[in-house]
Amino acid sequence: MTVSPPERRALVIEDDPDIRMLLTSLLKREGFLVTEAGTVREGVEAARRGVDIITLDLNLPDGDGLDACSQIRPISDAYILMITARGSEIDRLQGLDTGADDYIVKPFSPRELVARINSLFRRQNRQLAASTAATEADTNERQRAAQVQQSLLPRHGVELPDYDIAGEFRPSRAVGGDFFDWYPTPEGMHFTVADAMGKGMGAALVAATVRAVLRSTAEEPDLARAFTSAAASLDADLERASSFVTLLHGRLTASDGAVDLIDAGHGLALHVSPDGSWRRLASGGVPLGTVPGWDWEVMSVTLAPGDALAIISDGLLDIYDTLDEFAAAAAGVVAASASSADACGKLLILAEDPRVEDDVTAVVVRRSTGAGA
Amino acid sequence: MQFTIEDRGTYTEVVANGRLNMVSAPTLRSTVDEAVGAGSRHIVVNLASTDFMDSSGLGALIGCLKVARQAGGDLRIACAQKQVQMVLELTNMNRVLAPYATVEEAFARD
């Protein structure tokens, strides 16, 4: 079987327009599809969209290449070639765990650059020949995992008269550690928004386990007891996986808008009034898997007609300096939205920012204005 | 991210420079594991130069805390910057890992 080489994509992160043009034309001549970026911010954003090789200048207007490298590494497996103006830097750089694969000194000859890149791809092709089958299996598995994870999310809101319920989730990779869940109960509904540590497959597996264990406690009428028993059975698993989970779990009584909530280190639940005023609901509980035997406190709030409960994962927090700034922005979006689905969509648009590196999730439960009338 | 270890007599100081994230978290874990393995019981992680910490970084600190406590010691953190403080506050982990203002204060009352 012959493997046809896939199109190779290169990203040039370089602020000097002349050098950028030179690198771009060299890489194009070698058959690469080239994207250009002049800043760390643009570079990280472009890397997220997927590339095979990145040339990275060490001095960029909005940060240094080392920082860019540490931001790119978790989101991309691209080969990173660091470009520095000082030969004396190379020794120091090679001693650091920068995440770069190779270094080259400016001014470099075009031939040297091309030789480096070709030797890299020869090396990769040899590995590729050996691992293509494995990689394909891996990719398939990852796609399957993404499908499974999406299928675990509730497909529809719970049909509750007088309530509008919506949720949205955007993983930073194919799969992520965030999830949300809800299901109807005789009184109203139960819901969960959670974030397992880290990103990718490991986090997704932990998330799926937590979802299943929490659902298994739905029949227990006492929320604190249900949660404590779920936490106890998850502790050992989380300990073994060296992971932890922040989450918010709540129970809504539809008739009077009463919500009982447990906050396990999630911290981003907002009670939003129709005029946009808000209160952050936090009870001081630690995440699951951190302190065995923790006693979580149950908070109670009442959703008056028109009030909303918005639960947002910490991914979005990367944009704001303080919790209050974040809460005010999110509450403003929720209060101004026509529906819960609209609010979730707008919250995720806020998260379309290169500074947001994490999974992002939003769940909104709103009691309609005419309720209880 | 780089970690350096300093023996301060009554405690061991681990200085963390840069971003404490998915990439650097395993190095922090192994650095503290080694220190505890070598007999250190009181560890202070100096976060003065840690300008960013994500959930994996926090996970590493929690793992290190468990390792130190299992060995009969403790791990404390000092000089947490604004973003790190916010992560600790949001997750309520400041109730378990309360940041000290200076490295010296962390074990001063023990």
Percent of chain A exceeding pLDDT 70 equals: 83
Q: How many other CB atoms sit within 10 Å of the CB of residue A89?
A: 14
Higher pLDDT, A240 or A183: A183
Q: Is residue B107 part of a domain?
A: no
User: How do residues A268-316 score in pLDDT, each as one tens digit?
Assistant: 999 999 999 999 998 889 999 999 889 999 999 999 999 999 999 877 7
Closest CB from A74, A244, A321 relative to B62: A244
Checking DSSP bridges between strand A33-37 and strand A9-13, what pairing results, if any?
parallel
Q: What is the CATH number of the domain that holds B59?
A: 3.30.750.24
User: How do residues A239-278 score in pLDDT, each as one tens digit?
Assistant: 887 889 999 999 999 999 999 999 999 989 999 999 999 9
Q: Read out DSSP for A236-295?
A: HHHHHTT--EEEEEEEEETTTTEEEEEEEB---EEEE-TTS-EEEE---BPPBTTSTT--
Tokens describing residue B63: 């793992």
CA torsion sign, B5 to B8 to B12 to B18? negative
How sure is the predictor about A96, in pLDDT bands with cuts at 50, 70 and 90? low
For residue A310, the SS3 value is: strand
Query: Which residues of chain B have a CB within 8 Å of the CB of A285?
Result: 92
Q: Is residue B51 part of a domain?
A: yes
User: How do residues A311-344 score in pLDDT, each as one tens digit?
Assistant: 998 777 777 878 888 899 999 999 999 999 999 9
End-to-end CA distance of chain B: 30
- The pLDDT of residue A140 is 67
User: How do residues B6-24 score in pLDDT, each as one tens digit?
Assistant: 999 999 999 999 889 878 8
Q: Is residue B55 part of a domain?
A: yes
User: How do residues B20-53 score in pLDDT, each as one tens digit?
Assistant: 987 889 899 999 999 999 999 999 999 999 988 9
Q: Is residue B34 part of a domain?
A: yes
Q: Is residue B46 part of a domain?
A: yes
Give the C-alpha separation, A252 to A372, whole Å.
15
User: Would you give the distance in Å from CA A279 to the centre of its chain?
Assistant: 25
- Per DSSP, B95 falls in state G
pLDDT of A134 higher than 80 = no
Look-up of token digits 């907002």: A270
Q: Is residue B106 part of a domain?
A: no
Domain annotation for chain A: domains and CATH numbers: 9-142 (3.40.50.2300), 153-367 (3.60.40.10)
| CB contact (8 A) between residue B86 and residue A317 | yes
How sure is the predictor about A35, in pLDDT bands with cuts at 50, 70 and 90? very high
Higher pLDDT, A337 or A52: A337
User: How do residues A155-182 score in pLDDT, each as one tens digit?
Assistant: 777 889 999 999 988 776 656 678 899 9
Give the C-alpha separation, A368 to B89, whole Å.
33
| CB contact (8 A) between residue B23 and residue A74 | yes
Q: Is residue B37 part of a domain?
A: yes
Residue type, A316: L
* Closest residue by Cα to residue B56 from A289, A196, A286, A354: A196
Q: What angle do CA A205, A206, A207 make, to 5 degrees?
A: 90
The answer to whether B22 touches B54, Cβ cutoff 8 Å, is yes
Higher pLDDT, A125 or A335: A335
Query: Which residues of chain B have a CB within 8 Å of the CB of A99?
Result: 23
Predicted TM-score of the model (pTM): 0.69
Q: Is residue B96 part of a domain?
A: yes
Each residue of B24-55: b (16+ CB within 10 Å) or e?
Answer: bbebbbebbeebbeeebbbbbbbbeebebbbb
Mean pLDDT (chain A) is: 83
Between the CA of residue A22 and those of A28, A110, A117, A329, A330, what are the distances in Å?
10, 8, 15, 43, 44
Q: How many other CB atoms sit within 10 Å of the CB of residue A265?
A: 29
Query: Which residues of chain B have a CB within 8 Å of the CB of A263?
Result: 92
For residue A315, the SS3 value is: helix
Query: Which residues of chain A have a CB within 8 Å of the CB of B22?
Result: 74, 198-199
How sure is the predictor about A123, in pLDDT bands with cuts at 50, 70 and 90? low
| CB contact (8 A) between residue B93 and residue A243 | no
User: How do residues A191-211 score in pLDDT, each as one tens digit?
Assistant: 999 988 876 667 777 888 888
The two most distant CA atoms of chain B are separated, in Å, by: 34
pLDDT of A347 higher than 80 = yes
The answer to whether A82 touches A69, Cβ cutoff 8 Å, is yes
Residue ranges of chain B whose CB lies within 8 Å of a chain A CB: 1-2, 18-19, 21-24, 27, 54-56, 58-59, 62-63, 82, 86-87, 89-93, 95-96
pLDDT of A88 higher than 90 = no
How sure is the predictor about A34, in pLDDT bands with cuts at 50, 70 and 90? very high
Parent domain of B35: 2-100
Q: How many domains does chain B have?
A: 1
The set of residues, in sequence order, having a beta carbon less than 8 Å from that of B80 and lying 6+ positions away, is B47, B50, B88, B99
Give the C-alpha separation, A68 to A66, whole Å.
5
The residue of chain B nearest to residue A294, with distances taken between CA atoms, is B96
| CB contact (8 A) between residue A323 and residue B55 | no
Give the C-alpha separation, A296 to A286, whole Å.
8
* Mutation for testing the A interface, residue in B92, B95, B96 having most A CBs under 10 Å: B92
| CB contact (8 A) between residue B86 and residue A323 | yes
* Closest residue by Cα to residue A332 from A318, A319, A346: A346
The answer to whether A170 touches A351, Cβ cutoff 8 Å, is yes
Tokens describing residue B65: 């805390």
Packed helices A110-152 and A200-215: angle between N→C axes, nearest 10 degrees: 10
* Mutation for testing the A interface, residue in B1, B75, B90, B96 having most A CBs under 10 Å: B90
Give the C-alpha separation, A192 to A361, whole Å.
11
The set of residues, in sequence order, having a beta carbon less than 8 Å from that of A368 and lying 6+ positions away, is A162, A163, A164, A305, A306
